[in-house]
Amino acid sequence: MLRKFKIAIDGKEYLVEMEEIGGVPQPAAPVSPAPQVTAPVQTAPAAQEEAPQAPAATPASADAMTAPMPGTILKILVNVGDEVKENQPVMILEAMKMENEVVAPKAGKVTGVHVTQGQMVNPGEALITIG
């Protein structure tokens, strides 16, 4: 049985149809033509934010290259001490089922790798430092 709901997100109203699976069916309430104002819904923080992160290989400095998007580190292509060129791929980040190359922003020597293979990262987290 499809049920219709009107929800408001950031002041914008949406009409949503949902199929009820299981449970006791409730009688449908009449839909009033007047707009209804609803309070914003507060959600709990995601479980992954509460889970402890794997320890990084080395501590990050303020000039470390950061993750551009949330994802999982699939492969690290360089090691500490390696010389890299500008725009050289340094690691592969999987985000939204796509593999994205993370490239060096400048030429230099890798002075720190702050993630491990398989680690999940959030935007802004330190990945690698090139000195």
- CATH number for position 96: 2.40.50.100
Return the DSSP state at 70.
Answer: S
> For residue range 117-131, what is the model confidence (pLDDT) as tens digits?
999 999 999 999 998
Q: How far apart are CA 119 and CA 57, in angstroms?
A: 11
> For residue range 21-34, what is the model confidence (pLDDT) as tens digits?
765 555 555 555 55
- The answer to the question of residue 97 being in a domain is yes
**pTM of this structure:** 0.53
How many folded domains does the chain comprise? 1
Work out the angle at residue 118's Cα, subtended by the Cα atoms of residues 106 and 93, and round it to the nearest 5 degrees. 40
pLDDT of residue 99: 92
6 token code pair: 């009107």
- The answer to the question of residue 35 being in a domain is no
Q: How far apart are CA 120 and CA 30, in angstroms?
A: 46
Which range marks the domain in which residue 109 is found? 55-130
- The answer to the question of residue 72 being in a domain is yes
Q: How far apart are CA 82 and CA 110, in angstroms?
A: 5
- The answer to the question of residue 31 being in a domain is no
- The answer to the question of residue 63 being in a domain is yes
